[in-house]
Amino acid sequence: MIPRFNPSRNSGHLDRRRFFCGVAAFVLAPFAAADGTPPDRRSLSFVHAHTGETLSTVYFQNGNYLAPSLEHVNQFLRDFRTNEVHSIDPALLDILFDLQARACHAGPFEVISGYRSPQTNAALRSQSSAVAEHSLHMEGRAIDVRLRGFPTAKLRDVAIALHRGGVGFYAVSDFVHVDTGRVRVW
């Protein structure tokens, strides 16, 4: 049975959310296994807030991370201040993929900060006490993002609900930090 839209019962916000979740389910359905396991094809789209660069890539397919795609991600998430490239933890990409799926939102992630060289991290730390001395950004295990068209406070809530790694919320700067470290919230 197909559920019918009932305008008297639903608010506009919930209708849009149900619509996007339905679209996501429809798009991902061909990739899901019969037992309901997650799709075996994972992709992400990014827009870099500082460089204006964009990237859309399938980074996992048929049970494997795709090396050429991971290289593109590494280049995209480089320290844009020094142009230093570092490998990004694929588990971080999986967190982003799951965040987007749980948010039922197909918009790209707007990247504020991906990999940071030790020099960049030290410079940022000298300007702000919010920058950790041993930041996981320096290991390619952290990212600061927004999800275009999705409230950042809600993105934080979705990230916390995943219960995977650290989640920081920076309301004034309007971004969420996620990492593959121990589970913690700030």
Distance CA 81, CA 137 (A): 14
Is the CB of residue 136 less than 8 Å from the CB of residue 98? Answer: no
Residue 21 CB contacts under 8 Å (≥ 6 apart), including other chains: 104
What is each CA distance from 23 to 28, 104, 110, in whole angstroms?
Answer: 8, 9, 21
Identify the pLDDT of residue 37. 53
CATH class of 12-185: alpha beta
Name beta bridge partners: 79. 84
Token output for 77:
């998430």
Q: Which of 143, 129, 52, 132 is nearest to 97 (CA)?
A: 143
Tens of pLDDT along the chain (186 residues) come to 443 333 333 444 445 544 445 444 444 444 444 444 556 899 999 999 999 999 999 999 999 999 999 999 999 999 999 999 999 999 999 999 999 999 999 999 999 999 999 999 999 988 987 888 889 999 999 999 999 899 999 999 999 999 999 999 999 999 999 999 999 999
Q: Strand locations in 17-116, DSSP E?
A: 41-48, 54-61, 64-65, 109-113
Identify the pLDDT of residue 29. 40
Is the overall model pTM greater than 0.75, yes or no?
yes
Q: Using CA atoms of 7, 12, 14, 20 in order, give the dihedral in degrees to the nearest 10.
A: 100
